[in-house]
Chain A
Amino acid sequence: ASSLLAAAPRTSWNNYHLAQAYLNKYYTKEGGHQIGELVARRGNSMVKKIKELQTFFNLQVTGKLDKSTMDVIKRPRCGVPDVAN
């Protein structure tokens, strides 16, 4: 998780959990693996979803929870997923 974050420790854990819930909700295909589920390579799944989000919102695709990515994650939004669902 620490490799995904570009923020101070305390906020970073909050951001990490916020991001994890967001990606599970909006970037997990039906029947797809929820992040945090036991999957072969955990980080890979989260990095992949962060990149999907960054692509959708036309952000720089870093695979990291940088500021602009966290800004999007914190914005009020519609509850319908962004990926085919």
Chain B
Amino acid sequence: YRLFPGEPKWKKNTLTYRISKYTSSMTPAEVDKAVEMALQAWSSAVPLSFVRVNSGEADIMISFETGDHGDSYPFDGPRGTLAHAFAPGEGLGGDTHFDNAEKWTMGTNGFNLFTVAAHEFGHALGLAHSSDPSALMYPTYKYQRPYGFHLPKDDVKGIQALYGPRKPFLGKPTSPHTPPHHPDLCDSTSSFDAVTMLGKELLFFRDRIFWRRQVHLPSGIRPSTITSSFPQLMSNVDAAYEVAERGTAYFFKGPHYWITRGFQMQGPPRTIYDFGFPRYVQRIDAAVYVPDTQKTLFFVGDEYYSYDERKGKMEKDYPKNTEEEFPGVNGQIDAAVELNGYIYFFSGPKAYKYDVEKEDVVSVVKSSSWIGC
């Protein structure tokens, strides 16, 4: 693999992207899907996440262009140059252009957009061309099957040289990107990224999967992909909570959050600084709304903040230390949800049932038992 001179890379781990111009040779939905899968190929190997925006300036502006399109690297019509992208940086940095004169496709009857987009996003993240013919970053086009795609080792080494490996889940040994072909969904060492009520259902999020269940019915629990119900969230939701009396839920990823009514997204992502977080907070680990106090508790590292939902502002004298305020709950909080006067804290493989009135932990179970394992 090769990096660009000076090794430019993104200094943040949540990047926005926007598809500003589409091609006529594929439907917009197909382009959206191919782009999303191409970004996911990289986010599965490094701790980067991608948030789609539909207006304004994004870190990675994506467009289909023809001929001379204003960046002093004109396209050359069918074949020849297929696309190009700019190394990480402000303005043009990260932007990715596809030659609209090509015949783009989701399959093989033309140039496969997933294949070319995955290559170009390698540049947009800081990789130059590789001389390894098996690498995705090899300069010449070679069709890659989108479904079941695994980043070749040379590309994993290159991108992890810039951003390090994706956070090992609970200390698991980091290995070159080899996603579990048959993920052990009942892996008892696993925790959850986020847990929330949504209407009458309880939702558990982990990586690209989420489970739905009735609160009092531990059967019929089935995993779904997050993208199937929350396309904008894609994977790795950081935190989520619901204010039932308002019928709204909040989903957090990096410094962004989305508001939903049920499964319906209510507009584009917003920034967590709307809640009054200090700028050094880049992401939330867990969130839980407590109806009795009408406060939402946000957990960040080993501290937590309290947000007054009625007044719409962060309470004073926060953050506080989590273990001091919630004795008996050990370790960093990965997810939390309030049910009938108890707060359930998920920390690694354990779920703590905390009695809000008694201010004490009343039981500890395996996290995975909540999804029927």
Contact = CB atoms under 8 A, between A and B. Distances in A.
B123 interface: yes
Interface of A: 25-26, 56-58, 72, 75-80, 82, 84-85
Given A26-B139, A72-B140, A77 B131 contact: no
Interface of B: 4-5, 73, 75, 79-85, 99, 111, 116, 119-120, 123, 128-129, 131, 133, 139-141
Contact of A80 (B79, B80, B123): B123
Given A56-B131, A58-B131, A58-B133, A79 B84 contact: yes
Nearest to B123: A80
Contact of B82 (A26, A78, A84): A78
A83 to B, nearest CB: 9
Contact of B129 (A25, A58, A75, A80): A80
12 contacts: A75-B141, A76-B79, A76-B80, A77-B81, A77-B140, A77-B141, A78-B123, A78-B129, A78-B140, A79-B73, A79-B84, A82-B139
Contacts of A80: 84-85, 123, 128-129, 139
Chain A interface mostly helix, strand, loop or mixed? loop
A67 to B, nearest CB: 16
Contacts of B116: 78
Nearest to A82: B129
Contacts of A75: 140-141
A77 B99 CA distance: 11
Name the residue in A57, A79, A82, A85 with the highest tally of chain B Cβ atoms < 10 Å from its Cβ. A79
A78 B139 contact: yes
Contacts of A85: 5
A53 to B, nearest CB: 10
B119 A78 contact: yes
A76 B77 CA distance: 11
B273 to A, nearest CB: 35
B133 A78 contact: no
Contacts of A77: 80-82, 139-141
B131 A79 contact: no
Contacts of A82: 129, 139
Contacts of A26: 139
Contact of A84 (B5, B84, B85): B5
Nearest to A72: B140
A82 B75 CA distance: 17
A12 B73 CA distance: 26
For the complex of A and B, 7 pairs with smallest distance between CB atoms: A79-B84, A79-B81, A75-B140, A77-B140, A76-B141, A84-B5, A77-B139
Contacts of B82: 76-79
A76 B141 CA distance: 6
A78 B131 contact: no
A57 B46 CA distance: 28
A58 B83 CA distance: 23
Given A56-B131, A84-B5, A79 B75 contact: yes
Contacts of B83: 78-79
Contacts of A79: 73, 75, 81-84, 99
Given A78-B123, A84-B4, 9 more contacts: A75-B140, A76-B81, A76-B111, A77-B81, A77-B82, A78-B140, A80-B84, A80-B139, A82-B139
Nearest to B4: A84
A82 B127 CA distance: 11
A26 B128 CA distance: 12
Given A79-B81, A80-B123, A57 B131 contact: yes
B116 to A, nearest CB: 8
A32 to B, nearest CB: 13
Contacts of A84: 4-5, 128
Nearest to B132: A58
B69 to A, nearest CB: 11
A76 B140 contact: yes
Contacts of B139: 26, 77-78, 80, 82
